Amino acid sequence: MRAAWIIAKNVIEESIRKKEIYVLFILSIAMMSVVAMASFFSLTGLVKYFIELSFLIITYITVIIAVVVGARQLPVELNSRTIYPLMAKPLKRSEFIIGKWLGTSIISTFCFLVFEGIFIILLFSKGSSVSGILIQGIFLHILQLMLISSIVICLSAFMTNAANVTVSILYFILGHWIGKAISDMLDKCGTFLAWILKSINYILPHLDYFDLSKKIVHGWPPVPAWVIITVTIYAVVYISIFLLIGTLKFQRRQL
């Protein structure tokens, strides 16, 4: 596993040297500031809007960071041929996959924590405070970033960078915002295709389990610990499955 950590550090180093993360950083901080100012000047429901929009922005931007960083890892190693000297070293293909996942998870989590830090400072400046459910929401989003990183790394063993980014972002949007609507719709029509789609929907991880944003906005009390534990186990199981599939595919691949 030490080898995986070395690969993860390489992912982090690469991301720091590239500019896109800084662009996303500035972009999201700018958006959050606009939201913060807008809700400062309006009178009612202000903090709620600020929390809701900020959470939305942070969620999207950090998922995009995970997808963009994760999807390019394997394709870039192959295209630039850096994979050849690397894989001649005592490094298992599984360690390569795990390392790439770990690096992607760390980068996206780090960005997320920085954004959250800024968000919490702005929250304090509005006289609001950090609630228990917010802490739970932060934890679950980190899990979600790790899960999405594993999906992206797994897919990178199967498809090109561009296809991977498209599929992953679509999956995130569908899973989050209209997944429920689709599954309700499928329940109503009983065709074979609907059955297949429902099965797929059933097998794939449900990202909405990781979303506490509504509860955070409406100031709910923290959810029970068993819920958090169950969702954590759920994430760990899926992450393991995706990393396993990615490793098996990558092992079979000729470089």
Partner 1 sequence: MKPVIEIKNLHAEYRVGREKTVALGGISLRTYKGEIFGFIGPNGAGKTTTINILLGFMYPTNGNAVIFGEKSSSIRNRFRIGYLPEIAYYYPFLTPFKILTMYGKLFRINKTILNNRIDSVLATVGLTEKKNTPIRNLSKGMSQRLGLAQAIINDPEVLILDEPNSGLDPIGKREMRDIILDLKNKGKTIFFSSHQLSEVELICDRVGIIDRGQILKTEKLDQIVGKIDTKQTLLEDIFIRMIKDKRA
Task: Report the interface residues with partner 1, using CB under 8 A.
Answer: 2-3, 6, 9-10, 13-14, 17-18, 80-82, 84-92, 254-255
Which is nearest to 51 in space by CA: 183, 253, 254, 220?
220
Q: How many CA atoms lie within 13 A of 72 on its CB side?
A: 12
The least distance separating partner 1 from the CB of residue 89, rounded to whole angstroms, comes to 4
Please, which residue, 6 or 244, has the CB nearer to partner 1? 6
Please, which residue, 99 or 175, has the CB nearer to partner 1? 99
Please, which residue, 110 or 220, has the CB nearer to partner 1? 110
Packing angle between helix 225-252 and helix 93-125, nearest 10 degrees? 140
The least distance separating partner 1 from the CB of residue 87, rounded to whole angstroms, comes to 7
Which is nearest to 59 in space by CA: 239, 211, 227?
211
**Cα–Cα distance, 248 to 253 (Å, whole number):** 9
Kindly state the tokens that stand for 115. 């954004």
Please, which residue, 14 or 158, has the CB nearer to partner 1? 14
The least distance separating partner 1 from the CB of residue 70, rounded to whole angstroms, comes to 17
**Cα–Cα distance, 143 to 207 (Å, whole number):** 10
State the residue for tokens 């995130």: 172
- Cβ neighbors of 134 (< 8 A, separation 6 or more) are 216
Please, which residue, 99 or 205, has the CB nearer to partner 1? 99
The least distance separating partner 1 from the CB of residue 242, rounded to whole angstroms, comes to 24
Q: Measure CA 157 to chain center.
A: 18
**Cα–Cα distance, 64 to 232 (Å, whole number):** 22
The least distance separating partner 1 from the CB of residue 84, rounded to whole angstroms, comes to 4
The least distance separating partner 1 from the CB of residue 97, rounded to whole angstroms, comes to 15
Packing angle between helix 46-79 and helix 161-173, nearest 10 degrees? 160
Please, which residue, 81 or 180, has the CB nearer to partner 1? 81
